[in-house]
């Protein structure tokens, strides 16, 4: 078993999963914000969105997802290693 190769594969899988999750969350949040702005404009309501609070929310969600994904992947890797031995 080549540990360096396995480590590279794991890193690649983790990076792909994290990037995918981050993109998904960012797109979702941006769409929600745009919808709120459009609805607010259509109704004639003045829409004020604080960029800092939006960024904080996005970062919080992304961190939660990243931690969840990394833990899931780590558990799977450990299970696979245990199964091999």
Q: What pLDDT digit, counting tens, does each position of 32-62 carry?
A: 877 777 777 666 666 566 666 777 777 787 7
How many separate helices (H) and strands (E) can be counted in the chain?
2, 0
- Extents of the domains making up the chain: 3-84
Q: How big is the chain by its Cα radius of gyration, in Å? A: 19
Highest mean pLDDT among 4-8, 20-24, 34-38: 20-24
Alpha-carbon distance of 54 to 48, in angstroms, equals 11
Q: For the whole model, what pTM was predicted?
A: 0.45
Confidence of residue 29 (pLDDT cuts 50, 70, 90): confident
DSSP 55-68: HHHHHHHHHHHHHH
């Amino acid at each position: 078993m080549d540990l360096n190769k396995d480590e590279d594969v794991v890193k690649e899988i983790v990076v792909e999963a994290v990037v995918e999750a981050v993109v998904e969350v960012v797109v979702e949040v941006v769409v929600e914000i745009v919808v709120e702005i459009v609805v607010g404009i259509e109704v004639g309501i003045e829409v004020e969105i604080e960029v800092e609070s939006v960024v904080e929310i996005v970062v919080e969600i992304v961190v939660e997802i990243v931690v969840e994904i990394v833990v899931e992947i780590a558990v799977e890797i450990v299970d696979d290693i245990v199964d091999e031995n």
